[in-house]
Amino acid sequence: MTSDVRPPLRSLERYGGVLFDLDGTLYRGARPLPGASEFVAACRAAGLRVAFGTNNALLERETIAARLRDMGIEAAAGELVTAPDALASVVLGDGRTSVVRLGNAGLRESLEAAGLYGPDVMDADPSAVDPERTALAIGLDPERSLAGVARAAAIVEAGAAVYATAAEPHYPTDRGVEAGTGTMLAALNAMIGIAPVLCGKPSRHFGERAARAVQDGRPVLVVGDSLRADVGIAREMGWDSLLLLTGAAREADVPVDGAPTHVAADLARVLQDLGA
């Protein structure tokens, strides 16, 4: 098996921080995955700085933290590093002070926390778009119909720049895979060509926010289930990665050499390797 060519994670001693993905890594849907709470607790007991990094734009921060706590995983809203937060920061950094939103509660929360108040695409007036100041902010919204995407196309046609939390075409749930933000971007691109600024994993924008949460001068470990997003952000930042085969990635997807640093079936197996 491909993962056998990589050494198992046998110690946490060299690390100063750990960045956990959520969906497909610590839980799937409403169910915690094997070893999740115990491994997070082991990282805390080892003195690592813990953060939870997600491209999820559906839920507000406290809702996500409460979901983790309900699963027995110690977590605080302040430990979350989110793609919507990164997006809001990038939009402001680019001098755009007007926003139109194609996304859910998590995206709205981050935008408004940054002082970016604006309408949903269905309520926006394309004639009010200022090409120099207006951003179209896109986050995961699985209930959005093509009518919403078509309205977003009108906003782009009027001159708005496009910023997105992520580009994954799908994500794992307890019902199977669901369409991700990348699917919505593809639909929008089919209507009008776009070149979105990607602000979540694996972008540098996200990595720099995560570094402030987990970096203390020692190495950082990223734990996740996606080669593109989780292993990608580790590669972008020069961090180690632990790929779990519990969500997006399968054994056959793992390259023979290079990243990730470690591969494991799940966190229960990692705990065994650690002797915990």
- Shared domain for 262 and 229, answered yes or no, is yes
Tokens 């979350």 correspond to 80
pLDDT at 24: 92
Tokens (6 digits) for 163: 């910023």
Residue 49's domain is classified under what CATH number? 3.40.50.1000
pLDDT tens sequence across 168-222: 887 766 677 777 899 999 999 999 999 999 999 999 999 999 999 999 999 999 9
Q: Which amino acid is located at 222 in the chain?
A: V
Whether 2 shows a pLDDT value over 50: the answer reads no
| 223 band by pLDDT with thresholds 50, 70 and 90 | very high
- Shared domain for 173 and 263, answered yes or no, is no
In a domain, 65, yes or no: no
- Shared domain for 99 and 131, answered yes or no, is yes
pLDDT at 76: 97
Q: What is the mean pLDDT of residues 38-67?
A: 96
Burial class (CB in 10 A: 0-12, 13-18, 19+), 257: exposed
- Backbone φ and ψ for 240, nearest 5 degrees, come out as -80, 160
- Shared domain for 100 and 119, answered yes or no, is yes
d(CA 276, CA 273): 8
For the whole prediction, is pTM greater than 0.85? Answer: yes
Q: How many domains does the chain have?
A: 2
Range of the domain at 45: 2-55+202-274
Select from 166, 198, 230 the last residue of a domain: 198
Q: Which amino acid is located at 75 in the chain?
A: A
Tokens (6 digits) for 213: 């949460």
Whether 4 shows a pLDDT value over 60: the answer reads no
Select from 141, 173, 198 the last residue of a domain: 198
- Shared domain for 206 and 184, answered yes or no, is no
In a domain, 162, yes or no: yes
Count of helices and strands (H, E) across the chain: 9, 14
